[in-house]
Amino acid sequence: MPPPQLNQPLPPGHVIDGYRFERQLSMGGFSIVYLAYDPRGTPVAIKEYLPNALALRSVGLVPQVSAANRAAYQSGMMAFYEEGIALARLNHPNVVRVINFLRANDTVYLVMRYEQGRTLHEQIRKHRGELRESFVRGVFARLLSGLRVVHANKLLHLDIKPSNIYLRTDGSPVLIDFGAARQTLCQSDPELRPTYTPGYAAPEQYGNQPGQGPWTDIYAVGASMYACLAAAAPQPADARLLKDELVPATARWTGKYSRQLLETIDQCMRLDPLARPQSVFALQRMLAQPRQDAPDQADPVAE
């Protein structure tokens, strides 16, 4: 497994095809995201393909890729670009909007609509264990509308988690940072670090097992809802396969949230893919069922 490398972001003021890079917003093992401005001065987010296990940029603009890593680097870049093209065809308010593509510096860039707000992960940390049921239902009902369009276009997200659910300032969620291209990269080079997030990844994602589908994302949705209540990620699925110590939502939060919501979370997180809801539509119907025993909580997120 290649050691992680620390890549240098592009310098402030750098321009590619009229887009001026302002500053780094985030950096992961697969990419760097920047705040930039288009030729009209409108802020955008630009995601640069730069897997730190394969490429190193310590000085200059062009990352250095060894001959041994070149094939995997090129394969991952093509998957990144193709995923961006597929996302650009989607126009849904709850899915990140890709509006342009750039090629420069021996890599590719996705230009996305810039959103202001905070991640669901940040919201969970701010209101630890005190998120209201109506808030959780509202976020995921809208998020599932976007995910349903994603699946209808033969795409999977494969990395749904609270830090990849962005809440705009008006509270509406946006699904960001798709993981399908990262998974393609790891499939092309098994020595690379896994792309899944422990606690949110379905058991079939470990070892890139076959049989992944909409139910794989549905496991992550259930785990993300569980995290909203627990203020922490649930037990990772690979550990659950060995010794399942996850306390079911129906046992852990009886009386605090409606049984219908808790049963929905537990069903989404079944280790057997066939025991989960098989489609986003099925999960939407479950979440839309009327609550009969939900406590009347004070809303800690009404700010």
Residue 123 lies in a domain: yes
Give the mean model confidence (pLDDT) for residues 166-195: 77
The Cα–Cα gap between 90 and 156 comes to: 13
**What is the dihedral angle through the alpha carbons of 290, 294, 297, 299, rounded to the nearest 10 degrees?**
-30
Q: Looking at the structure, tell me whether residues 213 and 169 fall in a common domain.
A: yes
> Per the domain annotation, does 2 fall within a domain?
no
Q: Are residues 46 and 154 in the same domain?
A: no
Please give the Cα distance from 212 to 71 (Å, whole number).
25
Residues 256 and 135 in one domain: yes
- List the CATH number of the domain containing 107: 3.30.200.20
Note whether residue 85 is domain-resident. yes
Say which CATH number the domain at 143 has: 1.10.510.10
On whether residue 296 sits in a domain, the answer given is: no
Domain boundary among 59, 89, 113: 113
Write 23-29 long-range contacts (CB < 8 A, 24+): 28/177, 29/4, 29/53, 29/193
Query: Domain check: are 215 and 71 in the same one?
Result: no
88-136 per-position pLDDT tens digit: 999 999 999 999 999 999 999 999 999 999 999 999 999 998 999 999 9
Residues 147 and 107 grouped into a single domain: no
- Same domain flag for 29 and 139: no
Which has more pLDDT, 262 or 83? Answer: 262
What per-residue confidence (pLDDT) applies to 22?
Answer: 98
Would residue 102 count as lying in a domain? yes
Co-location of 182 and 100 in the same domain: no
68 is a domain residue: yes
Whether residues 129 and 243 share a domain: the answer is yes
Give me the domain span that covers residue 130. Answer: 117-288
pLDDT, tens digit, 9 for 90 and up, residues 29-71: 889 999 999 999 999 999 999 998 899 999 899 999 999 999 9
Q: Do 36 and 142 lie in a common domain?
A: no
126-160 pLDDT per residue, tens: 999 899 999 999 999 999 999 999 999 988 999 99
Whether residue 300 lies inside any domain: the answer is no
pLDDT for 299: 44
Provide the pLDDT confidence category of residue 4 given band limits of 50, 70 and 90: low
The answer to whether residue 280 sits within a structural domain is yes
Both 209 and 224 in a single domain? yes
Cα dihedral angle (70, 72, 78, 84), rounded to 10 degrees? -120
The residue from 60, 81, 113 where one domain ends is: 113
Beta carbons within 8 Å of 158's beta carbon, 6+ residues apart? 178, 179, 180, 182, 183, 195, 196, 205, 212, 216, 217
Measured distance CA(63)–CA(49) in Å, rounded: 10
**194 and 72 both lie in a single domain:** no
Q: How many domains are there within the chain?
A: 2
Q: What is the mean pLDDT of the chain?
A: 90
Query: CA–CA separation, 160 vs 164, rounded Å?
Result: 6
- Note the pLDDT of residue 301: 44
Distance CA 262, CA 243 (A): 22
Same domain, 129 and 227: yes
Last residue of a domain, one of 113, 128, 156: 113
